[in-house]
A and B are shown apart, each in its own frame.
Chain A
Amino acid sequence: MQKFSFNKRLVVTMIILIVGFLLIALSISVRNNKNAPSFVQQIGNEAGGIVDRVVGVPMNGLGHATDSVKDLYNSYTENKKLKKQVDSIATQKVENQTLKEENEHLKQQLKLNETLTSYQKISAVVLSRTPSSWQNQIIINKGSVAGVKKNDAVMSRQGLAGRVTEVNKTTSKVELLSTGNDSANRFAVRVTSKDGTVINGLITGYSTANNQLIMGQVTSKAKIAKGAKIITSGMGGITPQGLLVGQVIRVANNDEGLPTKIYIKPAADFNDLDVVTVARRVD
């Protein structure tokens, strides 16, 4: 009898483990291949989103309260600095507007209605963050109802922050650029070299120790200035062109003819995301 019950327990354990591994395999295949997660997953996520809003609102309120005290503290010195910048911004704004208009006229003349730079913005509030070291992932409060699609680029106020990995009806998961996983991080980017040629490449990785993005698969060996701006190139068909990724910190040249690595200081702060914008390309 004792022996039998031991075997029974063993069998149950094995079955539970197998079911667990099957679930993991299933969800990874959904994540990699399908546009929407399964029905059960969706229901769970909607319910989670609702509960999380209830729990998260007081918590976020608390966070904002401490923030506002800090803000008050800083605003005096900031005000002084910003006043100096305001004048130049006004002129820039006017210039921007004229350029934009001109651009529109030119596009009309060329009958170019949509270019790679045009995209639709969907603003979303960050609900929560995955409490895990291995997935730098946030959960935002907009889903397929608002028009979010899988693989859309996500911007913070300062620059490119990540990519949508899972879309439910009213929530979505966004994998940040700082995630070191193999299947993420493939944004096509470009930078202008010192002599004006455009250099294309991919964001191939992230160095956690230095908080730097790594651009690889670089197409040319032209000299790149430190501090040059990296923007998305719009290649690959999903990401719009011209989203700011960051600034060049250092270029690692290889003598062996291997591709150059460009280290980038990301423009977005991946740990300070309250409101993000999903940039959905229009075409």
Chain B
Amino acid sequence: MRISKMRYFFPIGTFLFLFLDGSLSHLLAPFFFTTNVSVESRLILLWLVMGICYGTVDHLIWWAAAAGLFFDLFFTGILGIFTLLLPFMVYLTQNVLTFFNRSFIVVLLIYLIDITVLTTLFYWANALIGFTSVSAVNFIGRTLGPTLLFNLVVYVILFWPLKVFFEKFE
């Protein structure tokens, strides 16, 4: 029996994209965190969504949970938020995808919906624990809009490479 190479590539990619989020946020901080814009880089979600759509990965939801736990440990220091949110996003995407065929536009829309849900839930969780008191209007204008825009651009750039990658090692 041949063991799929994806077994090794997927976890490596997961953590690569997770730490790329942090590095990008650090490097592009002058553009990401200004007085009227606040972008949250979510490459990790792109990796997971592409893995669901074009790859055959075992235990994807558990890798999502592991990535989420690492995100909480290393970046925020508050355990439990991304640990639950990322597997939830995987669950949601897998269920939504049963109704659609996979194409550039459809995956794009699913990804944008995922980003919206994730960012909103993350905002809600942070509001709950008192880390932010930003109003909903401010949240949409300052965080959600720019976040969607940035992740859209990243999606357009990374869609084909990731699609080829996942289909090659299927």
Residue ID in chain B nearest A209 by CB atoms: B35
Q: Smallest CB–CB gap between B80 and chain A, Å?
A: 3
State whether A52 touches B22 (Cβ < 8 A): yes
Whether a CB of chain B sits under 8 angstroms from the CB of A136 is yes
Binds A, one of B68-76, B99-107, B158-166: B68-76
Whether a CB of chain A sits under 8 angstroms from the CB of B116 is no
State whether A210 touches B75 (Cβ < 8 A): no
Whether a CB of chain B sits under 8 angstroms from the CB of A145 is no
State whether B84 touches A20 (Cβ < 8 A): yes
Whether a CB of chain A sits under 8 angstroms from the CB of B97 is no
Docked pose: A181 CA to B142 CA in angstroms? 17
State whether A131 touches B123 (Cβ < 8 A): no
Interface residue from A49, A137, A183, A211 paired with B76 (Cβ < 8 Å) = A137
A55-B20, A138-B26, A209-B36 known; A132+B76 contact, CB < 8 A? yes
Docked pose: A114 CA to B61 CA in angstroms? 56
State whether A130 touches B35 (Cβ < 8 A): no
Binds A, one of B2-10, B46-54, B128-136: B128-136
How many interface residues does chain B have, given as a range? 35 or more
Binds B, one of A37-45, A98-106, A153-161: A37-45
Q: Which residues of A contact B27 (CB under 8 A)?
A: 59-60, 62-63
Interface residues of A in 17-51 (CB under 8 A from B): 17, 19-24, 26-28, 31, 37, 41, 44-45, 48-49, 51
State whether B79 touches A23 (Cβ < 8 A): yes
Residue ID in chain B nearest A44 by CB atoms: B73
State whether A166 touches B132 (Cβ < 8 A): no
State whether B38 touches A272 (Cβ < 8 A): no
State whether B77 touches A133 (Cβ < 8 A): no
A17-B84, A132-B122 known; A165+B77 contact, CB < 8 A? yes
Interface residue from A41, A55, A134 paired with B132 (Cβ < 8 Å) = A134
Listed residue (A51, A178, A270) with the most chain B CB atoms within 10 angstroms of its CB: A51
Listed residue (B24, B34, B78, B130) with the most chain A CB atoms within 10 angstroms of its CB: B78
Docked pose: A26 CA to B142 CA in angstroms? 30
Whether a CB of chain A sits under 8 angstroms from the CB of B25 is yes
The 6 closest A-B pairs by CB, nearest first: A23-B80, A128-B22, A48-B74, A44-B73, A129-B26, A271-B29
16 additional A-B pairs beyond A128-B22, A131-B41, A134-B122, beta carbons within 8 Å, are A24-B125, A26-B79, A45-B73, A45-B74, A48-B70, A51-B19, A55-B16, A59-B20, A128-B19, A129-B29, A130-B25, A131-B40, A132-B126, A133-B123, A133-B147, A180-B134
Q: Could you pull out 17 A-B pairs where Cβ atoms are within 8 angstroms? A: A17-B84, A24-B80, A28-B78, A48-B74, A51-B19, A59-B24, A60-B23, A62-B27, A129-B22, A129-B25, A130-B22, A131-B24, A131-B42, A137-B77, A166-B77, A210-B35, A271-B33
